[in-house]
Amino acid sequence: MTDDGLRITPTRRELLRSAVRTLSRVWRSAPAQLLAYLAVALVGSAAPVMVAWLTRAVLDHVAQHRTGSLLGLALAITAVTTAVAVASHAAQYLRAEVDRRTAASAKDELFAAVSRSTGLAGFENPAFLDRLRLAQQSASHPGRLVDTTVSAASGLVTVVGFVGSLALISPAFTVLVLLAAVPALLIEMRLSRRRTAMLWRIGPAERREAFYAQLMSTASAAKEIRLFALGDFLRLRMLAELRTANAARRRVDRQELLIQSGLAAASAGVAGAGLVWAILAAGDGRLGIGDVSMFVAAIAGVQGALNVMVAAGVMAYEHLLNFQHEVSIVTAGPDLPLPAAGRDLPPLRRGIELRDVWFRYSDDHPWILRGVDLFVPHGQTVALVGRNGAGKSTLAKLLCRFYDPTRGAILWDGVDIRDVPPQALRDRISAVFQDFVSYELTAAENIAVGDLALAGDEERIARAAREADVHDTVTALPHGYRTLLSRGFASEQDEEADGVLLSGGQWQRLALARGFLRRDRDLMILDEPSSGLDPEAEYEVHRQLRKLRSGRTSVMISHRLGAIRDVDRIVVLADGVVAEEGGHTALLADGGVYARLFSRQAAGYRDDDMEPTGALQ
Ligand SMILES: Nc1ncnc2c1ncn2[C@@H]1O[C@H](COP(=O)(O)OP(=O)(O)OP(=O)(O)O)[C@@H](O)[C@H]1O
């Protein structure tokens, strides 16, 4: 089965490589703990064999009335069982410690790989999101492979110990017991593959279930859910997804129940036959009482240990199948093609040109841009205007190279932006997106994320806040710039962790300040920078923007046409192309799309309910 290039059942070689990779990571993350864990596990696994031999000796001594050394044997049994009890607790602690340390490095590696992806398409790909979810699960318990390896190794020690003892009594039974384990292992591995494939299949249902659950526990969604009484609707949808996933799990569980019951019955049959043989042999005088006890303990021990080994093998296999998701993310190549030689991107001198740019989000999606030709001259402001869905934000994302044009090219002073590393391009850009992020960090940090190199520069942060008309708001907060902008981390120990919430417009101004902190960049992209601002703030912000923009290159997207009438050039996007282009006055005179949009908006500000007239209709 394949999905988006990922095989659910990898080859043996891939599994082996994954096993080496995950075990070497465990070794690098927690070498001392791993060695101690192995030592303790070894003690635990040798103990049953030692106890069986000591019991045999006790029984033989009793049968032969040799009571002299019984006390010593009893003390030895006590010492061994005490060591086992202590070892089991130590193993538990060491196992958890190995898991904790390895999980930290696994998550580090996984999220470093996720952050390395330069484009956005991966986050819009359901297969990638499923893989990421499974990879996170795998990275949360990376020590499982060690557990299973240790279990298998302990089982092997026990098996070897008992097989030796069993072979002394009955070589034929030894072979039979060992052979019986082979089909069990093969069948269990097949079941394991089925389980992993099922987990992959139910991934979308589990993601939807998580989405509904998260929606019902999110403050931002709580208003609408209550007002529109969506609680039952969302809960039922969540339960429907859960039932779908549960039905698939149940089917596999039932298959496993049937098959594993059969395997258990077969193994009990072998043990029963052995017991009958041992009793008959004891009756004939071929086995002593100690031999019978040893034989019974050895059969149970070998079968039990083989079961442990089979289960460990299956778990290791399952873990490695899941680990494949992690490996595929960590070793994935760049999501956007990178230039062979990482050349630098010089400061903008002439301008940015979109040459016959076509774009759609994927082969299954409609064309958004259908041959856009546009020039953004250095030092000028170009405003993008158009109806909802015209592709304005898409064009802004292409300028930042979050996606590559499906056809055509974007040239920075004549250099195709695909020929420079994405980070070199982005270092030259400042942007305020329409769907900016409200970070649950302090006010200062919310601005500083615009340029982390300036995180300690209080003066620059305050200046950006003043330009975005948010400085007074921030200084009035309980801890000023140190105020946490979240109510989600309240704690009795830390007074400052109990933060505050901002209004929509205040958040927008902070996002603007974030963009202003990068004022020295070559290109500024502002996507609806003032949509949530009150009229005074909007006036103030646009006054600042005019100041900041002057002599700088910027692309501004706005539905507030009054705010962009003074820009150098207005570009109207419609039907995926540049439909109109020019200054405000010229476009009004042309009487096209811009004139119609402008006059409709202007009519809303007039007292009289006048319909647009003349060319503007
Ligand atoms: N990530 C995406 N995957 C698929 N389609 C998308 C994606 N983002 C946007 N679209 C689609 O692309 C089209 C253009 O969207 P875009 O956000 O660029 O429009 P816009 O002109 O900025 O609209 P608005 O004025 O409403 O902000 C829309 O039809 C939208 O559904």
Q: Which of 481, 499, 520 is the last residue of a domain?
A: 520
- pTM beyond 0.80, yes or no: no
pLDDT in tens, 77-113: 888 888 888 888 888 899 889 989 999 999 999 999 9
**CA of 391, closest atom in ligand 1:** 18
- The predicted pLDDT at position 559 comes to 86
110 and 252 share one domain? yes
Cα of 391 from ligand 1 centre, angstroms? 6
234 and 350 share one domain? no
**CA of 557, closest atom in ligand 1:** 22
- The predicted pLDDT at position 195 comes to 84
420 and 457 share one domain? no
pLDDT in tens, 61-78: 887 777 777 888 888 888
What SS3 class is residue 118? coil
pLDDT in tens, 135-189: 888 888 877 778 888 878 778 877 887 788 778 777 887 787 778 777 877 888 7
pLDDT in tens, 494-525: 666 678 888 888 998 999 999 999 988 999 99
Task: Compute φ and ψ for 375, nearest 5 degrees.
Answer: -125, 130
CATH number at residue 554: 3.40.50.300
299 and 444 share one domain? no
Residue 397: pLDDT band with limits 50, 70, 90: very high
78 and 215 share one domain? yes
Asked if residue 614 belongs to a domain, the reply is no
Cα of 369 from ligand 1 centre, angstroms? 11
406 and 440 share one domain? no
CA distances from 161 to 153, 156, 298, 438 (A): 12, 8, 9, 62
**CA of 573, closest atom in ligand 1:** 21
**CA of 384, closest atom in ligand 1:** 21
377 and 295 share one domain? no
Q: Which of 300, 330, 360 is the last residue of a domain?
A: 330
Structure tokens at 232: 């039952």
- The predicted pLDDT at position 416 comes to 94
- The predicted pLDDT at position 3 comes to 44
Asked if residue 531 belongs to a domain, the reply is no
Return left, alpha or beta for 24; rule: phi > 0 is left, psi -120 to 50 is alpha, else beta.
alpha
- The predicted pLDDT at position 403 comes to 95
Lowest mean pLDDT among 443-447, 562-566, 592-596: 562-566
How many other C-beta atoms can be found within 10 angstroms of the C-beta atom of residue 414?
Answer: 9
CB 445 within 8 A of CB 404: no
**Residue 580 bridge partners (DSSP):** 572
CB 482 within 8 A of CB 441: no
Asked if residue 537 belongs to a domain, the reply is no
Tell the residue nearest (CA) to atom 29 of ligand 1: 389
Q: How far apart are alpha carbons 55 and 51 in whole angstroms?
A: 6
Asked if residue 554 belongs to a domain, the reply is yes
**CB-side neighbour CA atoms (13 Å) of 421:** 10
Sheet holding 415-416, edge to edge: 369-377, 351-359, 407-412, 415-416
Q: Which of 330, 362, 385 is the last residue of a domain?
A: 330
pLDDT in tens, 280-338: 888 888 877 777 887 787 778 777 877 788 788 778 887 887 788 888 888 888 888 88
Tell the residue nearest (CA) to atom 9 of ligand 1: 394
397 and 419 share one domain? yes
- Structural domain that includes position 315: 7-330
515 and 575 share one domain? no
Residue 606: pLDDT band with limits 50, 70, 90: low
Q: Is the ipTM of this complex over 0.85?
A: yes
Examine the pLDDT at 429 and tell me if it is beyond 60: yes
Task: Compute φ and ψ for 296, nearest 5 degrees.
Answer: -65, -45
390 and 477 share one domain? no
The amino acid that residue 219 corresponds to is A
Question: What does pLDDT average to over the chain?
Answer: 85
Q: How far apart are alpha carbons 477 and 471 in whole angstroms?
A: 10
277 and 408 share one domain? no
Asked if residue 340 belongs to a domain, the reply is no
Residue 607: pLDDT band with limits 50, 70, 90: low
Residue 238: pLDDT band with limits 50, 70, 90: very high
Query: What are the start-end ranges of the E strands in 151-197?
Result: none
Tell the residue nearest (CA) to atom 13 of ligand 1: 389
Q: Would the CA dihedral through 263, 266, 268, 270 be positive or negative?
A: negative
Asked if residue 613 belongs to a domain, the reply is no
Structure tokens at 78: 């006590």
How many other C-beta atoms can be found within 10 angstroms of the C-beta atom of residue 454?
Answer: 16
| E strand or H helix at 415 | strand 415-416
Task: Please tell me the total count of domains within the chain.
Answer: 3
- The predicted pLDDT at position 69 comes to 77
Q: What is the CB < 6 Å shell around ligand 1?
A: 124, 361, 365, 368, 386, 388-394, 434
Structure tokens at 163: 């097989």
290 and 422 share one domain? no
